[in-house]
Structure 1
Amino acid sequence: MSRVYVLGGEQSDYERNWSKEGKSLTGMFREIIEDGLRSTNISVEEIGKLNIQNKVGAFVGNFAAENYLSQGHLGAFLTEVDDVFYGLPSARYEAACASGSVAIDAAVAKIKSQEYDLALVVGIEMMKTVDSKLSGAFLGSASYYEKEAQGIDFPFPNLFSKLADATIEKYKLETERYMNNLAEISYINYSNAKRNPKAQTRNWFMSKAQAKMRKTESNQLVGGRLAVSDCSQTTDGAAMVFLASEEYAHNYCKRNNLQISELPYIKGWGHRNAPLTFDSKIKESINDPYLLKWTRVAVKDAYTKSGLTVEDMDLFEVHDCFTSSEYASLSCLGLTEPGKEYEAIESGLITFEGDKPVNPSGGLIGGGHPVGASGVRMLLDLYKQLANKAGDYQVENAKNAMMLNIGGSATTNYTFVLGKD
């Protein structure tokens, strides 16, 4: 089967507040695409040539622009960037927080079918257009809104607090130890973000002590047992990547004096959907060792397709929308047995200096979470790590890496393995 290569891309600075800058959605599209073209050394003339040949397409991941911006039809916004995009096939893809991964998946399929040689994937979200309470209500539509979010302030912190409760109950964990492990996850991701020049919280303060001090003025509870330190950020931002066929990647390398062995390619992937409501997920998993049964299956699918195992992975970018989601993902990734996720945290395995770093970028908690962009940003960070372009958060000698992107309360589960020969 033909390979799909990642040529690179770009991420916006997730610290920015685009509304306060007076910048529009069009401006965000224009900046991220122009920056991505520049960083990959792909010209608009090249895009135009491929467009005439009908060998290029664009894929936009976005969750809730209709709510935050009263704007749909985002696939058409590329025509506002440059007239080279006139006529170019482009569409918007949505699966809650996994919207970016759905866009990646669609692009990969077009390249593997040999319809396209090059695909432009953009993930984008502007979320700072409303206050936090209204934003929480908008995000609630990623759940079964009528049953799980309607009339509830900040429904997703409450849902992922239920995940924390279910984890403690299923594995008979000591509550204080579990909560201290969540605090450690928060501290690790905030610490990693300080190495990332585009992370939202790179200038924020978060100590282990503060992360543990829930119910305090500096770390207030948001939903159930989860506090501010346990939550990902409301973020304005975009990320983009170029994906390419083998033939195009070889020609690209010749033009840029690269060896094809230097380019990472997608080795494996998985996509599984769990029941929509959180209670249905828990009910279905009663007799399964994994609390997030279908998240684990999506991970296993990616390992199987890649021919690799967890031992082959040098790092992970995972969906830490809340500390409880990262905690549950550690066994799904195969880093521990289910119910023993605390071993990966307490041993230092997942720290930046550990043998299996998780979220060296800072993840969603430290890096930021513009919902529709997060999957694309994760793939871009895997590319940076394998291409040795991650700067101060570079994991040494990285050859294979995995990302896990989830939508809703782990309803849509996407995994990709990126690697080099």
Structure 2
Amino acid sequence: MMETMDKPFEIDDIECAYIGNYSSDLFETQGHTAPIVADWLGMTPIPITRIENACASSGSALREGAMAIASGMYDIVLVGGMEKMTNLPTEGVTDVLASAADGLYEVPAGLTFPGIFGAIAKAHMDRYETNLDHLLKVGIKNHNNGALNPKAQFNVTIQDMMDRRKARAEQRGQPVPDWQTELDFLHDEQANPWIAWPLRLYDCAPITDGASCILLVSSEIAHNFTDRPVSLAGIGQASGKPLHDADELTSLSAAKEASRQAYEMAGITADDVDVAEVHDCFTIAEIVATEDLGFFVPGEGPRAVDEGRTALDGDRPINTSGGLKSKGHPVGASGVGQVVEIYHQLRGEAGERQAKKSKVEVGLTHNVGGTGGTCVVNVLRME
């Protein structure tokens, strides 16, 4: 981060830090990670606190950092997130993530997160005539964006993956699959197996190691760090009911409330948002998010994907980074990682994946934890 700052600063200037981390305890058998990170970074003895809110851990950490500055106690706060997930095999990661669901009702019913979001997808299909292609097109779009992101875990398109599979089969003297389009490839049960109907492998975010961080400073001293500051104009956080007790399966109540808070604080409406990073842990989650945030009316989200409205050159560019689906989902780091992408979009620094709109002045991030139990929404504005 030090090298990416517009103006130099010393790590000793940082007064406080908040770190989002879901479960280093279970992934790495390491608890009490915050002071250990402080030691690694040479930040002792400043106070540093670990925030755990499942996949919304660093989104929640950002809110705590903002409140620390708003209180007047600090002027310079480091906020970040981290997760090391690949120490465990896939089934172990699945078990750890399932601990973020309701252990009394959801987990005993066998609902791991693919099953939970599979149920959400099925409910959306039944209510709004959403179909499998809508889900697959979200994945195609996000991989197209991720292919332009050098930091993405899967910075390749679905087309690239399909072509590689065909080339490998030919080199091995095996029958070459007759895939003509990306949808042909994604509908092939051998290439893209079912995980939890109606979700397939390429509907799911990957297992990821990663970290992210940003520097929050009070507005009064922002120009000591940059001549092009991005402000945190609005922030909202809300809690929602577990899936078994939710009023409906096609919407997350916490997302609606968190966005209401963020819009009100920023003095905007959903129509004012130029670009957004939303929590696409599964392809259906992106569709539901775009409706919960008010970008599209309920049921319009799938049609918006069909029409290309959420692509880089659409009127509602979503997940320009590649999203969790392609960029990766190191769960404790994802919320702040979204903010990093919006920061670059607002400053016009996203390179080939820069949103193609003539005006990119207001951005939004949407970070969900568990089965929708936590949601943090941030509105950022170019000053």
Same fold (TM over 0.5): yes
Q: 2:143 corresponds to which residue?
A: 190
Q: 2:55 corresponds to which residue?
A: 97
Please list, as runs of the form range in 1=range in 2, the aligned pairs for 1:275-314 lying within 5 A after superposition: 275=241, 277-281=242-246, 284-285=247-248, 291-314=251-274
- CA displacement at 1:145 relative to structure 2: 2.7
1:117 aligns to 2:75 (yes or no): yes
Paired residues of 1:211 and 1:229 also in contact (CA < 8 A)? no
1:137 aligns to 2:99 (yes or no): no
Paired residues of 1:330 and 1:344 also in contact (CA < 8 A)? no
Paired residues of 1:187 and 1:211 also in contact (CA < 8 A)? no
Deviations 1:161-196 (A, max 9, x none): 011122223x2x33xx52111111111011110000
Q: 2:213 corresponds to which residue?
A: 240
Q: 1:179 corresponds to which residue?
A: 132
- CA displacement at 1:110 relative to structure 2: 0.4
SS of the aligned residue for 1:128 comes to coil
Please list, as runs of the form range in 1=range in 2, the aligned pairs for 1:144-183 lying within 5 A after superposition: 144-150=102-108, 152=110, 155-169=112-126, 171=127, 173-174=128-129, 177-183=130-136
Distance 1:208 1:309 in 2: 36
Distance 1:350 1:309 in 2: 18
Paired residues of 1:96 and 1:372 also in contact (CA < 8 A)? yes
- CA displacement at 1:42 relative to structure 2: 6.5
Distance 1:82 1:368 in 2: 24
Distance 1:211 1:354 in 2: 25
TM-score by length of 2: 0.89
Paired residues of 1:210 and 1:218 also in contact (CA < 8 A)? no
1:210/1:112 CA distance change after superposition, 3 Å: farther
- CA displacement at 1:247 relative to structure 2: 2.0
- CA displacement at 1:358 relative to structure 2: 0.3
Paired residues of 2:361 and 2:381 also in contact (CA < 8 A)? yes
Please list, as runs of the form range in 1=range in 2, the aligned pairs for 1:13-28 lying within 5 A after superposition: none
2:373 to 399, 407, 411: 411
Amino acid at match of 1:285: E
Segments of 4+ moved more than 6 angstroms: none
Amino acid at match of 2:133: N
1:81/1:41 CA distance change after superposition, 3 Å: farther
- CA displacement at 1:291 relative to structure 2: 2.6
Q: 2:5 corresponds to which residue?
A: 40
Deviations 1:76-114 (A, max 9, x none): 12333244x121110100100000111101000001111
Can you give the 5+ residue segments of structure 2 that lack an aligned partner in the other structure? 163-180
1:217 aligns to 2:177 (yes or no): no
1:111/1:383 CA distance change after superposition, 3 Å: same
How many residues align? The count is 360
1:226 aligns to 2:199 (yes or no): yes
- CA displacement at 1:333 relative to structure 2: 1.8
Q: 1:398 corresponds to which residue?
A: 360
Q: 2:317 corresponds to which residue?
A: 357
Paired residues of 2:195 and 2:201 also in contact (CA < 8 A)? yes
1:333/1:359 CA distance change after superposition, 3 Å: same
SS of the aligned residue for 1:142 comes to coil
- CA displacement at 1:41 relative to structure 2: 5.5
Deviations 1:281-300 (A, max 9, x none): 1xx238xxx63233122212
Please list, as runs of the form range in 1=range in 2, the aligned pairs for 1:265-280 lying within 5 A after superposition: 265-275=231-241, 277-280=242-245
TM-score by length of 1: 0.81
Paired residues of 2:280 and 2:323 also in contact (CA < 8 A)? yes
1:74 aligns to 2:28 (yes or no): no
Distance 1:355 1:82 in 2: 41
- CA displacement at 1:310 relative to structure 2: 2.0
Amino acid at match of 1:39: T
